[in-house]
């Protein structure tokens, strides 16, 4: 009994320290209590945990997560040469069916926006509105946009559709300013939330994913972030939407409507979905350095859920060819 007491005591202390360290403190920002002290000799009885009162084991961090090592697991018949990293996760059995370089740091491009949406949904109010600033639209030429203009007044919910469907980098910046005041502050919040999910091999410097050498992630970290985002019903609804009519007002108070289409070829119908697979949705990403990326959530006929990831594919056609091969494995 004393052995059980000791283990539980240490676990509780670690959990308490972690939860206090990352506890949100208003306005979407976090503060750290550097001078906090915890009693290292407290016993489990002080927390009301004993074998006599039907003690239940603590739920540890990775208990419900799929843990992948450094060794590649290559599914039979899946082409491995078309991308730098790829993975297939069975969320029902918590098993890794295919893994290539899942811990290699790579540029995520717009798959970054999965984390942006997760943070926005966690800290924001869907019905709240914000005014688009000139600074939010200061993006490199050729950047993918959803088409908002300075002075537009738009809700967070509409911005999330623009973010996830047409991959608007302008929407990403507006969301960052709306939640945290600046995109720099928002990137800090993104990193704290990523680390809290276990995505410690990643670093983000912006909410949109345009190239920066210090902005990177891994296929495994994207799995950690995506599987948590999928727990939000609004997130699942948005990624499952093929087209959306956005409504907001311009700087003159006039009503504006824009038609947004999904950049996901499976959702748009441009790419054939394997028989027996239901693609729920996901997020694409493309830059010159990241090449072609896709994070996808799907189910087979038995409604078994899967996450499939391809990073740094050679071309868009190769991206969807490889992803389709992974999707076919979900029906085996």
The H or E element containing residue 162 is: helix 156-164
Q: Are 66 and 73 in contact (CB under 8 A)?
A: no
Considering the candidates 83, 86, 167, 180, report the single residue annotated as catalytic.
167
DSSP string, 1-47: -HHHHHHHHHHHHHHHHHHHHT-B-STT-B---TT----TT--GGGG
Closest by CA position to 283, among listed 310, 312, 247: 310
C-alpha span between 224 and 89 (Å, rounded): 11
Catalytic residue flag (residue 110)? yes
Q: What six digits make up the tokens of 148?
A: 């908002």
Considering the candidates 83, 86, 100, 110, report the single residue annotated as catalytic.
110
Q: Are 256 and 245 in contact (CB under 8 A)?
A: no
What's the longest Cα–Cα distance across the chain? 71
C-alpha span between 78 and 103 (Å, rounded): 19
Catalytic residue flag (residue 113)? yes
Positive/negative CA dihedral, 314, 315, 319, 321: negative
Positive/negative CA dihedral, 320, 326, 327, 332: positive
Considering the candidates 83, 86, 100, 113, report the single residue annotated as catalytic.
113
Question: In angstroms, what CA-CA distances link 4 with 10, 17, 40, 187, 190?
Answer: 10, 20, 16, 41, 37
Catalytic residue flag (residue 167)? yes
DSSP string, 213-260: TT-BB-HHHHHHHHHHHTTSHHHHHHHT-SEEEEEEE-TTS-EEEEEE
- Residue numbers annotated as active site: 110, 113, 167
């Amino acid at each position: 009994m004393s052995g059980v007491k000791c283990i539980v005591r240490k676990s509780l202390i670690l959990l308490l320290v972690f939860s206090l360290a990352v506890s949100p403190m208003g306005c979407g920002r976090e503060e750290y209590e550097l001078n906090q002290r915890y009693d290292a000799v407290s016993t489990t009885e002080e927390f009301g945990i004993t074998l006599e009162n039907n003690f239940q084991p603590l739920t540890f961090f990775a208990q419900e997560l799929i843990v992948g090592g450094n060794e590649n697991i290559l599914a039979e018949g899946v082409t491995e040469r078309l991308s730098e990293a790829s993975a297939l996760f069975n969320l029902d059995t918590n098993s890794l069916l295919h893994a290539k370089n899942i811990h290699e740091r790579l540029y995520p491009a717009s798959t970054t926006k999965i984390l942006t949406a997760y943070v926005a949904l966690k800290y924001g109010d869907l019905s709240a509105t914000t005014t688009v600033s000139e600074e939010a639209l200061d993006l490199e030429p050729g950047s993918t946009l959803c088409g908002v203009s300075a002075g537009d007044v738009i809700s967070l919910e509409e911005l999330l559709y623009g973010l996830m469907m047409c991959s608007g980098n302008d929407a990403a910046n507006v969301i960052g300013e709306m939640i945290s005041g600046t995109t720099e502050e928002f990137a800090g919040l993104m990193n704290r939330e990523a680390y809290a999910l276990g995505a410690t091999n990643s670093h983000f410097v912006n909410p949109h994913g345009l190239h920066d050498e210090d902005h990177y992630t891994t296929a495994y970290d994207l799995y950690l972030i995506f599987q948590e985002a999928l727990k939000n019903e609004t997130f699942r609804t948005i990624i499952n939407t093929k087209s959306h009519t956005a409504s907001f007002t311009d700087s003159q108070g006039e009503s504006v409507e824009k038609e947004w289409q999904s950049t996901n070829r499976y959702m748009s119908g441009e790419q054939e979905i394997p028989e027996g697979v239901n693609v729920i949705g996901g997020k694409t990403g493309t830059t010159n350095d990241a090449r072609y990326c896709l994070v996808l959530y799907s189910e087979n006929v038995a409604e078994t859920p899967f996450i499939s990831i391809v990073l740094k594919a050679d071309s868009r056609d190769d991206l969807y060819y490889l992803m389709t091969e992974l999707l076919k494995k979900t029906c085996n």
